[in-house]
Amino acid sequence: MRNPLPTVDLIIESDDGIILIKRKNPPDGWALPGGFVEYGESIESASIREAREETGLNVELVRQFHTYSDPKRDPRHHTITTVFVARAHGRPSAGDDAKEIDIFRKENLPEQIAFDHRDIINDYFTGRY
């Protein structure tokens, strides 16, 4: 039996916008920080770990935002992601599988955004969830 893989993604709020990472590995593009949940790990712990690995920041989870489960959301695997809104203080730095890191507002989002993260970001900025 095959099952979808659980993942987490974070909308990390800063005073200047939200933090996105530019991926080192395919699929290319900018993305929300996040990744796979490890065996024996809660989604909350995975979120905090992934934020630290990819942005160098210690985050505070503010709330669970929404779960996205379209089987086509990740071209590599069938994944289900739980997205959290988080706050962080400090200066982010690209780490782990992040090649670059930057802060974006709704008005200046990058052209190439990986996975279904543009939809997630649009849901966040429009207050859909």
For 75-114, write each residue's pLDDT tens digit. Answer: 999 999 999 999 998 889 998 788 999 999 999 999 999 9
Per-residue model confidence as pLDDT tens digits over 44-86: 999 999 999 999 999 999 999 999 999 999 999 999 999 999 9
Q: Which residues are catalytic?
A: 100
Give pTM, 2 decimals.
0.95
Q: What is the chain's length?
A: 129
Confidence band of 120 (pLDDT split at 50, 70, 90): very high
Region class of 126: left (phi > 0), else alpha (psi between -120 and 50), else beta = alpha
How many independent structural domains does the chain possess? Answer: 1
Q: How far apart, in whole angstroms, are the C-alpha atoms of residue 83 and residue 73?
A: 13
First to last CA, the chain: 32
Bridge-partner residues for 12, per DSSP?
86
Give the DSSP letter of residue 101. E
Host domain of residue 68: 5-126
Q: What does the pLDDT read at residue 79?
A: 97
**DSSP state string for 69-86:** --TTSSSSS-EEEEEEEE
CATH number at residue 102: 3.90.79.10
